[in-house]
Amino acid sequence: MKSESTDSAAPARGGGRTRNRRGEGALLRDEIVAAAERLLEREGDEEALSLRSVAREAGISAPSIYTHFADREAILDAVLDIAFERLRRVVTESSAGIADPVERLHAGCRAYARFGIEEPARYRVLFGRRRADPPVPGAGLSAVWQRRHEAFMTLVEGLDGCVKAGRSGSTNPYADATTLWTSLHGAVTMRQFVPGFPGFPPLERAVADLVDRIGLIRP
């Protein structure tokens, strides 16, 4: 069997790959992350991601990955960053242009729930795995987690907008948004693992009820 110890390109799924020219390392890094995302979407489980499977998907030799990523966890972290940014965009774009703050908050929360249901593999990578570098209570957020925190802040800002408009009785939008997020996560996760449970109301109705109750929404 031929060794994978060289840096030459390996056969790609569905064709070959041209080796990057000098100075195109950033391009190769992006290709590795994109390959990991494709695997995750196709297989639906992060266990399908290994250095060899990602290299095969990207059409490179496995040792080539080490120039850009120390290990599998580093690749998953890169995928995680992209998924957090994608979630943030999904939420903000869904509520863009809605003048009423309560309707805006509802729209953002519905978008969050749909993201979890429609993209279960990405959602599990975001919220269903033990972190190698979780935030440490009282120590503040690292630069990496500060970026990821921006996705959550869209929910805080949405609830705060309701408070400022006199439409919410919340006295601590950050704390109440945390409780709302936890509850939304539960609604999404339960529907992933116990689909069809007769006690579940339609997802949009469940989201609306959680927003109104936990966000202390006023007419």
pLDDT tens-place string over residues 136-183: 655 666 776 777 788 899 999 999 999 999 999 999 999 999 999 999
User: What is the chain's mean pLDDT, rounded?
Assistant: 85
Give the whole-angstrom CA distance, residue 62 versus residue 50.
Answer: 10
Domain extent listing, the chain: 25-69, 78-214
Which CATH number applies to 78-214?
A: 1.10.357.10
For residue 65, what is the DSSP state?
Answer: G
Classify domain 25-69 by CATH number. Answer: 1.10.10
* More reliable by pLDDT, 124 or 175: 175
The mean pLDDT of 39-57, rounded to a whole number, is 90
Nearest-10 crossing angle of helices 173-193, 143-164: 110
pLDDT of residue 107: 98
Quick: pLDDT tens for 190-204: 998 888 888 899 999
What pTM value is reported for the model? 0.78
Band of residue 61 on the pLDDT scale cut at 50, 70, 90: very high
Cβ-based neighbours of 163, under 8 Å, separated by 6 or more: 170, 173
Give the pLDDT score at 5: 37
> Residue 186 has which token pair?
């539960």
**168: helix, coil or strand?**
strand
Distance between CA atoms of residues 121 and 117, nearest Å: 9
Query: 15 has which bridge partners?
Result: 12
- Is the pLDDT score of 12 beyond 60? no
d(CA 8, CA 111): 43
